[in-house]
Structure 1
Amino acid sequence: MTQHPTPDERRPANRGPKAAAGNRAALVAAAREIYAVHGLDAPLSGIARRAGVGQGVLYRHFPDRDAIASAVLEENVRQVEEAAADEGVTFAGVLGVVTWHLAQSAAFIGLLHADGANGRLRAHASAQDLSERFERALRGCLPDGHRLGAPQTPEAPETRGIPAAADPSEDLMLAVAMVSGAVTGPTPEDRERRALAAWRLLGITVGPVAPFKG
């Protein structure tokens, strides 16, 4: 007697949500890599090819260029927030995470330069919110007495070597902007090397350069 499979046995496992989440993650990772080499105006078709999906899949997740750039930025900022909130990560460690994202993501650098070539992104409310979240995360883990939060006075030797800002509270983000402006080069390794050199010139200690994996 032939046994027929039950309806549950005939029905394949529903991998829709899992596959969709995997495709989205692959697209964000591919976009970061493509942007790092070709900038924010890179063809979306190249991002889809790098992620191993069709353009239709890309557009289901990201209807336009700004949407996928914002997704890359969201991941950049989220990792910095998570590192800053982790009690086991020092401020130098958080700067290591920041430096990794600077070396890997042209979109992240664009977020930190309101008047730069990527100012188009900053016009969006979501990008402005991400920029503010990034600053709050860094300020929230800045140790008391750190040179990036200390007043700029001749009597404060720990602040020597840091260009004076109009407002001492601006020192932190001014330093980040200066370092991000130095992040150039054809490969992530080149960009990381230049970023670390810039931090050294500012006299700032940076931890291991790596993404945050909490």
Structure 2
Amino acid sequence: MARAKTMPCRVNRGPAAASENRRSILDAARRLFTERGYHVPLSAIAKYAGVGQGVLYRHFPTRLDLAFAVFEENLEQLETIGAEPDAGAFGRLWDRLVALTVDSAAFVEMAVDARRSLPGYTGGRRLQALIEVTLPRAQRAGLIDARITVDDVLLAHRMIYGVVVTEVEPAGVRAAVQRALRLLDPATTAVRD
């Protein structure tokens, strides 16, 4: 008599898989938030990560918790750049901020949502502090017009976000952002030279 083939069982590794599951969820969230926006179903994120929804909710009880975790990684990248002591740090910070906004507009949406619903949220203040540290060095080195203020840079960032979320053709986002950056010269494009 022939033996029936059995499918290998998936072994529940329990707590041993927690950090791997968390990383998979964060990677899936980053990708799907970028592709489909902040309101992508959490079930789609869990499926993409290869975990059950219960696992997702154990790590991240709310959409905001998940978005914060991904956004925190983005902010840590910006803080690493901002910690660089040279005059060019502002340019690199701005370039990365624009790239993150283009690639992850959902996280700006999350930050706006967080500001409204979580009075203790510090992400916006942390970004402002990075600009307050790096902008003056770039100005002293002649890389940025001395009349540009921190508020001007934050406004330029909000304008870039507006371009990203209102562009009708997703394939045209990068070109539209580049056109907007040229219009914002010298506040932004001067740092690219």
Q: TM-score range by the shorter chain?
A: 0.7 to 0.9
Q: Residue in 2 aligned with 1:193? A: 175
Q: Which moved more, 1:91-100 or 1:170-179?
A: 91-100
Q: Deviations over 1:141-192 (max 9, x none)?
A: 11225686733xxxxxxx7xxxxxxxx54211111111111114565x6433
Pairing 1:125–2:123 present: no
The one-letter code sitting in structure 2 at the alignment partner of 1:66 is L
Q: 1:170 aligns with which of 151, 157, 161?
A: 151
CA contact (8 A) 1:182 1:194 kept: yes
Q: Deviations over 1:103-126 (max 9, x none)?
A: 2213322256x4xxxx36532135
Deviation at 1:27, TM superposition (A): 1.4
SS at 1:32 equivalent: helix
Q: 2:139 aligns with which of 133, 144, 152?
A: 144
CA contact (8 A) 1:76 1:101 kept: yes
If asked which structure has higher relative contact order (CA below 8 Å, sep 6+), I would say 1
Q: Deviations over 1:32-54 (max 9, x none)?
A: 22222332221100011122222
Q: Deviations over 1:127-154 (max 9, x none)?
A: x301111111122111225686733xxx
Q: 1:50 to 1:78 in 2, by over 3 A?
A: same
Q: Residue in 2 aligned with 1:96? A: 95
Q: 1:122 to 1:86 in 2, by over 3 A?
A: farther
C-alpha distance in 2, partners of 1:76/1:21? Answer: 19
TM-score under structure 2 length normalisation: 0.73
Contiguous gaps of at least 5 residues in structure 1: 1-13, 152-158, 160-167, 208-214
RMSD: 2.9
Contiguous gaps of at least 5 residues in structure 2: 1-12
Q: 1:193 to 1:109 in 2, by over 3 A?
A: farther
Q: 1:198 to 1:58 in 2, by over 3 A?
A: same
Q: 2:43 aligns with which of 30, 42, 45?
A: 45
Within-5 A mapping of 1:149-164: 150-151=146-147
Q: Residue in 2 aligned with 1:81? A: 79
C-alpha distance in 2, partners of 1:131/1:198? Answer: 22
Q: Residue in 1 aligned with 2:6? A: none
CA contact (8 A) 2:102 2:164 kept: yes
Q: 1:27 aligns with which of 25, 29, 38?
A: 25
Deviation at 1:82, TM superposition (A): 1.1
Q: Residue in 2 aligned with 1:61? A: 59
CA contact (8 A) 1:100 1:192 kept: no
Count of residues in correspondence between the two structures? 171
